[in-house]
Amino acid sequence: MNIGIPKESRPFEYRVGLSPAGVEILTRLGHQVVVEHDAGMGAGFADREYEKVGARIVFSPQEAFGRADFVLKIARPLKEELEWINDGAILAGFLHLASASQDQIDLLLQKKISAFAYEQIADAQGGRTVLRPFSLICGSMVAQIAARWLQTNRGGKGILLSGAPGVPPAEAVIVGGGTVGTSAARAMQNAGAHVTVLDKSMAALERIHKELPGVTTMMATQRNIQRATAYADVVVGAALVSGQRAPIVVTREMVRGMKPRSVIIDVSIDQGGCVETSRPTMHDAPTFIEENIVHYCVPNITSVVARTASRVFLNSAIPYIVEIADNGVEAAMKNNASIEAALNTHRGEALHLVRLNGAEAKQ
């Protein structure tokens, strides 16, 4: 199969669709791989590293997309990039189509592209196989992000996560006890904060209670979320429903009830955000002030640790990439339920894409 790895074009996206180690696996299996010039630069992978393992370097994005039967991306392509993809080709990436514009989805359907969303790959137990490593990294980064934006010079309250002798630690409230939320709770606790996690699942709360002694757990009722956000110095929004827009669990009224210059980190923003006052930001200007609260709402948080993220991604995603490349999308769908469940569009139809800007799609 002809496989294309274009350079990521979205601002501050430093990750790459596949590392040289992954390309080597594909070329040894007989696949042809083209890599756009400097596609791996942000993650520290030079063109020569790709050439050494059998890739061909091309010098325009149109060529990287246009030569490929199978396009490997990280972020969702821009509309212009979707137009460069061949009709009937396969596209893989963290697509988050539930929060995409309708014209992008229409183009995928019109061109009969098989859109394969890494974030929806699940194992037999429902675990998000490819998303999980990124979620762990993202959660680990939450503590350092919170510490930075609580500083006075960043517009925060001027408090230390760990507190100090005679001064209590920061109150960190995490809404969502999944992979991101648990990782964030661990990182916050290790940084010395007092941590509260809210979730609708008793099983999730029991797991956190067992794994992280000292972390307070609460059911994520509206009343409890309102109470917890009111005393929080940091609120982490980590609510997610796979394939759908993130549910709004922290309302504007709750944000108004928070202590001035507290920090909100909405890690669900790539799925639309779970805080009503959130809107996407970028790494060059990652925060804004709304209702006198600092909001950090960067969708691609792990992009700034691009080398680690790209290597972790390879470990989790390469089996699925190889299966599709070796067998084609039809056979891969038939043989692997995880692949079938991650296809959002195929042959002009919407599959496993719960919402198209609010409209119901095929299940």
CATH 3.40.50.720-classified regions of the chain: 2-121+306-360, 131-299
Number of neighbours of residue 42 by Cβ within 10 angstroms:
19
Which of these is catalytic: 270, 295, 346, 352?
A: 270
Which of these is catalytic: 31, 69, 96, 199?
A: 96
| 37 within 8 A of 57, measured Cβ to Cβ | yes
Architecture of domain 2-121+306-360: 3-Layer(aba) Sandwich (3.40)
Residue-level pLDDT at 96: 84
Number of neighbours of residue 56 by Cβ within 10 angstroms:
13
| 289 within 8 A of 155, measured Cβ to Cβ | yes
Handedness of CA 89, 91, 96, 101 (dihedral sign): negative
**CA 161 → CA 124, 144, 206, distances in Å?**
38, 9, 25
pLDDT tens digits, one per residue of 227-247? 999 999 999 999 987 667 889
Q: Is 194 a catalytic residue?
A: no
- Burial of 102: CB neighbours in 10 Å, binned 0-12, 13-18, 19+: exposed
7: nearest Cα among 48, 32, 40, 45:
40
Q: Is 233 a catalytic residue?
A: no
pLDDT tens digits, one per residue of 304-346? 999 999 999 999 999 999 999 999 999 999 999 999 989 999 9
Handedness of CA 325, 331, 336, 339 (dihedral sign): positive
CA distance 361 to 274: 22
Q: What is the pLDDT along the chain (363 residues), one digit of tens a residue?
A: 999 999 999 999 999 999 999 999 999 999 999 999 999 999 999 999 999 999 999 999 999 999 999 999 999 999 999 999 999 999 999 998 877 888 999 999 999 999 999 989 988 777 789 988 889 999 999 999 999 999 999 999 999 999 999 999 999 999 999 999 999 999 999 999 999 999 999 999 999 999 999 999 999 999 999 999 999 999 999 998 766 788 999 999 999 999 999 999 999 998 889 999 999 999 999 999 999 999 999 999 999 999 999 999 999 999 999 999 999 999 999 999 999 989 999 999 988 765 433 333 332
Q: How many residues does the chain have?
A: 363
Alpha helices in the chain (DSSP H): 20-28, 47-52, 61-66, 79-84, 102-110, 131-149, 179-190, 202-211, 222-231, 252-256, 306-335, 337-341
- Predicted structure pTM score: 0.83
Q: Which fold has domain 131-299?
A: Rossmann fold (3.40.50)
- The distance of Cα 247 from the centroid of its chain, to the nearest Å, equals 16
